[in-house]
Structure 1
Amino acid sequence: MKLPDSLVDTLHAVFGKEGCSTNEAKRLAYAYDNSRRNALPDAVVFAQEHPQIESLVRVCREHRVPVVARGRGTNTTGATVPVDGGVVVSFERMNRIVRIDPENRYAIVEPGVLNGDLQIALRPHGFFWPPDPTSSPWCSIGGNLACNSAGPRTVKYGSPRENTLGLRAVAGTGEGFRCGTYTSKGATGYDLTRLLIGSEGTLALITEATLKLTPKPTGLRTLRATYRDVSSAAHAVARIMAQPVTPCALEFIDDVALKLARDHGGDSVPVAGAMLMIEVDGEPETLPSAVEAVSRAARGDGLDELRVAQTAEETQALWSARKALSPAQRTISPNKINEDVVVPVSRLPELVDGIRLLSKKHDVLIVTFGHAGNGNLHVNLLPRDEAERERAHVCLAEVFALVISLHGTLSGEHGIGLVKREFMPLALQPSTLNLMHNVKAAFDPDGILNPGKLLP
C-alpha cells in the first residue's frame, strides 16, 4: 500500500530525516528475517526513545497501518516479516544499557542491546543474564523477550520469563505503561511482564526491560558422553535430570547430526550412535562431587565413553561437534526446516524414537539435537529437492502431532510467528485460543501490532 502523505510527514517529524525511510533499497533490508520469508514494508523507522514509539503507534492506529517491531532479524519463524506491509520499527539504535545495579541484582536495558554486549558489560560486576541463544553475539534483548528465546543455560537458570523483573512498553492504543517490579518478589495484580514475553510484538512494543541478574559461577567443567544409540542417550538425559545436581547445559546430538558434523569438522567429532554434551558449574571446591553425581547418572546401558575435559583446550575440542553442526547442515540443504519442539524430559526417548520412524516413513533426512535437559529438541528436516520438500511438510505435521501426543508443545524458544500459526489449534483448545484473542483485543483493539502472527 502507499502510505498517506500525512502519515509519512508525521513519521519524518517524529523520527527525523535519518530515522525514517521509504526508500525501496532500505525497505528491502527490513523485509525478511532468518526464516527466509520476506514481504516489503511501506516504511522503516529507527527508534531512539520511548515517546517516539507512543507517537508512532498512535498515528498508525489512526490510519489503520500495521506496525512490526524488529530487533536484528535472527528469528526463524517469520515473526518479524511485515506480511501486511505497514511500518517496520527497528530498535537497533535504541541500544543503551541504562543502569547496572549489582546490589539489587538487576540491569535496565533498551531493547536494541545485543545479548552478547550485555554479557560483556556484566562481567566486571561478577554477574550474567542467563538467556544465551546460539545467536547471542548478534541477537537483541528485545528479540529474546519477544520470543522467550533462551539457550543451553535454561536447563538450570531459566528462560527470559524467569529472568525479567519488569518492562516498559507501548500498547496498540499508543498508550505507554510499565509492568512488573524492581524486586525479586511481587504479588501485585496480573503478571503482564510474563504475558508480554513471548508475545512476538502482537500485544505491545517493549521499549525497556529490567532484567534479573545472576552471580557468575567461578568454576565450570565439561563432560562428553557417547552412546551406542539415540535411545540410550535419551534415557541418560532422563536419569541426569532426575538426580539433585542440575547441569548448566545438557545438549543432545543424534547419530545423523554427528555424521554430518564429522564430515564437516573432521576426526575431532566422535563416531557414535548419539552424544551428550554436559556442563556443570559452581564454586571450584564443589565441582568434583557435582561432576561425579552427573557422571553416575550418565553411565548406564549403551554408554560407550565418558570424558571430562581438564583444560580449556580440551573443553573446546569436546564442543567441536556441536559447533560444526550449523555449517554442516547448510551444505546439505539450503531449505532446512528448523523446529524446536519440547516434551517432558521423561518422554524424550519416545520423541527421539518417533522422529526416527517418521524420517524413514517419509524418506526425509532429519537431524535432531538441542537442549535435552529441558526436553527441547531442534528437529531439522533437510529436504534436498522439491519432492523432498513436499514430503518434509507432511512429515512436519506428523512430528507436531507426535509432540502433542507426548504432552509436549510446539516451541521452546523460536516462537510461533508465521511458520507454526496453522498448528496452534493442535496445541491449544478453542476456549484457550479464544481467551488469547480477547487478550490481543484488549492490548491492540485495532489489530495493528504485527498482524498475521502467532494467533490463527
Structure 2
Amino acid sequence: MLSEPLQNEFVALLGADRVHTDPATLALYASDETPKSCTPEAVLFPASHDHVAGIVAIAGRARLPITPRGAGSGNVGGALPTPGSLVVSFECMNRVLEFDPDNRLMVVQPGVVTDDIDELAASAGLMYAPDPGSGAYSRIGGNLAMNAAGPRAVKYGTTRDHVLGLRAVLGDGREIRTGSRTTKYATGYDLTRLLVGSEGTLALITEATLRLLPAPRRIASLRVCYSGTRAACEAVIRAMRQPVVPYALEFMDGRSIDAVREYGAAEGLPAGTQAILMVEVEGDDEDIPRHLAALEAALRGDGLLEVQSGFSKAEIAHLWTARKSLSHAVKKIAPLKINEDVVVPVGKLADLVAAIDDLGRRHRVPVVAFGHAGNGNLHVNIMVHPDDIDEMTRARACRLELVRTVLGLSGSLSGEHGIGSEKRPFVGLEFEPATLALMRQVKALFDPHGILNPGKKLPD
C-alpha cells in the first residue's frame, strides 16, 4: 500500500481524482492482455507533461518503480505491473496538440487512440501509415513503446519510421526533446529511434511529432489460394522481388484455414486450399490495373489454385472475410494462445512455416501461423488449455524450440509486439553478452534509479 505521505504528494501534484488506491481500480490495472496479473500500489492519471515530470521526480526520490500504460492491449506483459510499482496511465493525455497538413505532421499526446490520428489525417487527404490491428483502441504511446506495425509496414515501415521527434522524461526527472519537425535530420545522435521501441524502460514519452503521408486514392485487393504453404512462400519472394511494392501482403497457413472453415468464414475458398495470400495495392485509377497485373504475374506459379480480385469496398471486405475472422476462429481451438511474433528474412519464410508445422506435430499442440508475409513476420499461436499441465509443458518446449529455430534462420524474437516480460528469458539467445552489456549501460544512463518499467525488455 502506498504510504500516506507519498499519496499526499501525488494528490498535491495531480489532484485527488487522478490518484487511485481503491481495490477496484488497482484490480482493473493489475494486468494487460497476458493472463498474468500483479496488483500495483497506486494508479496515477497524469494530464500533462508537467504531471509526468512531477510523478517521476517523486517516484525517483522514493525509488518507486513505474509501469507506464496506454490501453493495456499488449500481449507480452509490457504494461504488467511489478511488485510495489505505480501504474502511470496515459489515457487522460489524449489531445492532439497540433495538426499541420502543410508540413504533413501532427503533434500528439501519448493517450490518443491510434486510428483517431489516421482519421484526422484523412480529413486533409493524408494518412498516418502504421496500422496495428489494435488501432481502434490502442493508444499511440503504446505503439511508440513497442514500435508497433501492421499490414502496411511492408510498404511504409513501422512506427519508428513515422516519428519525427519526441518530448520525454527520463528516469531521474530530466526532460528531453529529440529529433526535429523536418523529414531530413542529421544533427546529433538519433535518440528518437532509440526511444521508439524501448518499451518505457528509458523514458516516459509525453509528446510525439508524427510524420504523415498522402493518403492512397484507391485500393484494390487480391486473394490468392495455394495448395501448399511452400508454394505460397515462394510466391511471396517473387512478389517482393518485382518493382511494385504491395500495400499489404498477408499469409494464412493450413491450420488457420481449418480454423476459419470450422468457424464458418471460409465460403468460396477452393477445395484443397492450404495457404492464402492477401495482397493489396494502392495508387491512382490508372495505376491500379498495372500494379495488380505485375503482382498477379509474380504470384502465379506451382501450387496456385485461384486468384480473386476486389475493387469496391464490398468486394474487398468479402475477400478479407477469412483473415478478419481468424482471431475469433482460433479461440474455438483452445481458450489460451501463446502468441509468438517472430520474424525471419523473407527468403527463409518457407523454412519457418515448415518448421512450425513440424513443431506442432512433434509436440502435439495445435499451432496456427499467419501474419505479414511481405516482412517475414508471422504470428505463431500455440493453442493450449491452461489447466492441462502436460499440454502446457509440451507447449513451453514447443515455444523454446520455435525461438531457437527462428534465430537459426537469422530471424528475431519480435517483429512488432515487443519483448515485455514474457519474452525476456529469450533475449540472451539473440544477443551476445557484449551487446547486452551495452544495452544495460544505455538503460542506466537514461534511468539511473532503475524505476522505469523494470522487469521488461532486457533479461536479468
Query: Which TM-score bucket, shorter chain as reference?
Result: over 0.9
Q: What is residue 306 of structure 2 aligned with on the other side?
A: 305
Instruction: Give the whole-Å Cα distance in 2 for the aligned partners of 1:220 and 1:361.
Output: 42
Instruction: Give the whole-Å Cα distance in 1 for the aligned partners of 2:266 and 2:456.
Output: 43
Instruction: Give the whole-Å Cα distance in 1 for the aligned partners of 2:375 and 2:62.
Output: 44
What letter is aligned with 2:157? G
Q: What is residue 437 of structure 2 aligned with on the other side?
A: 434
- Are 2:291 and 1:290 aligned? yes
What letter is aligned with 1:379? V
Instruction: Give the whole-Å Cα distance in 1 for the aligned partners of 2:64 and 2:280.
Output: 48
Q: Secondary structure at the match of 2:278?
A: strand
Change (3 A) 1:261 1:370: same
Q: What is residue 376 of structure 1 aligned with on the other side?
A: 377
| CA drift at 1:269 | 5.8
Instruction: Give the whole-Å Cα distance in 1 for the aligned partners of 2:280 and 2:6.
Output: 53
- Are 2:394 and 1:391 aligned? yes
Residue pairs, 1:20-39, within 5 angstroms: 20-39=19-38
Please give the per-residue CA displacement for 1:312-366, whole angstroms capped at 9, x wherever unaligned. 2221111000111111111222221111100000110111111111111111110
The match for 1:407 among 394, 406, 410 is 410
Q: Secondary structure at the match of 1:341?
A: strand
* Structure 2 residue ranges without an equivalent (≥5): none
Are the equivalent residues in 1 in contact too, given 2:114–2:135 (CA < 8 A)?
yes
What letter is aligned with 2:363? H
Q: What is residue 241 of structure 2 aligned with on the other side?
A: 242
| CA drift at 1:386 | 2.8
Please give the per-residue CA displacement for 1:194-227, whole angstroms capped at 9, x wherever unaligned. 0001111000000000000010010111000000
Are the equivalent residues in 2 in contact too, given 1:21–1:27 (CA < 8 A)?
yes
Q: What is residue 158 of structure 1 aligned with on the other side?
A: 157
| CA drift at 1:268 | 2.1
Q: What is residue 353 of structure 1 aligned with on the other side?
A: 354
| Of 377-386 and 184-193, the range deviating more from structure 2 | 377-386
TM-score, normalising length: structure 1: 0.98
Are the equivalent residues in 1 in contact too, given 2:265–2:325 (CA < 8 A)?
no
Please give the per-residue CA displacement for 1:147-204, whole angstroms capped at 9, x wherever unaligned. 0011000000110111100000000011111101100010111111000011110000
TM-score, normalising length: structure 2: 0.98
Q: What is residue 316 of structure 1 aligned with on the other side?
A: 317
What letter is aligned with 2:44? V
Instruction: Give the whole-Å Cα distance in 2 for the aligned partners of 1:318 and 1:148.
Output: 29
Runs of 4+ in structure 1 over 3 Å off: none
Q: What is residue 185 of structure 1 aligned with on the other side?
A: 184
Q: What is residue 115 of structure 1 aligned with on the other side?
A: 114
| Of 106-115 and 352-361, the range deviating more from structure 2 | 352-361
Instruction: Give the whole-Å Cα distance in 1 for the aligned partners of 2:80 and 2:265.
Output: 37
* Structure 1 residue ranges without an equivalent (≥5): none
| CA drift at 1:267 | 4.3
Instruction: Give the whole-Å Cα distance in 2 for the aligned partners of 1:139 and 1:266.
Output: 26
Q: What is residue 17 of structure 1 aligned with on the other side?
A: 16
Change (3 A) 1:269 1:30: farther
Residue pairs, 1:36-435, within 5 angstroms: 36-268=35-267, 270=269, 271=271, 272-384=273-385, 385-435=388-438
Are the equivalent residues in 2 in contact too, given 1:269–1:320 (CA < 8 A)?
no
Instruction: Give the whole-Å Cα distance in 1 for the aligned partners of 2:13 and 2:330.
Output: 44
Are the equivalent residues in 2 in contact too, given 1:421–1:453 (CA < 8 A)?
yes
Are the equivalent residues in 2 in contact too, given 1:340–1:414 (CA < 8 A)?
yes
Q: Secondary structure at the match of 2:123?
A: helix
Instruction: Give the whole-Å Cα distance in 2 for the aligned partners of 1:430 and 1:183.
Output: 37
| CA drift at 1:117 | 1.2
Q: What is residue 453 of structure 1 aligned with on the other side?
A: 456
Root-mean-square deviation (Å): 0.9
Are the equivalent residues in 2 in contact too, given 1:268–1:317 (CA < 8 A)?
no
Instruction: Give the whole-Å Cα distance in 2 for the aligned partners of 1:22 and 1:13.
Output: 15
Please give the per-residue CA displacement for 1:368-411, whole angstroms capped at 9, x wherever unaligned. 00000000000000123332211011000110101001100000
Are the equivalent residues in 1 in contact too, given 2:67–2:82 (CA < 8 A)?
no
Instruction: Give the whole-Å Cα distance in 1 for the aligned partners of 2:341 and 2:285.
Output: 34
What letter is aligned with 1:50? H
| CA drift at 1:311 | 2.6
Are the equivalent residues in 2 in contact too, given 1:251–1:370 (CA < 8 A)?
yes
| Of 357-366 and 435-444, the range deviating more from structure 2 | 357-366
| Of 267-276 and 76-85, the range deviating more from structure 2 | 267-276
| Of 257-266 and 183-192, the range deviating more from structure 2 | 257-266
Are the equivalent residues in 2 in contact too, given 1:39–1:85 (CA < 8 A)?
no
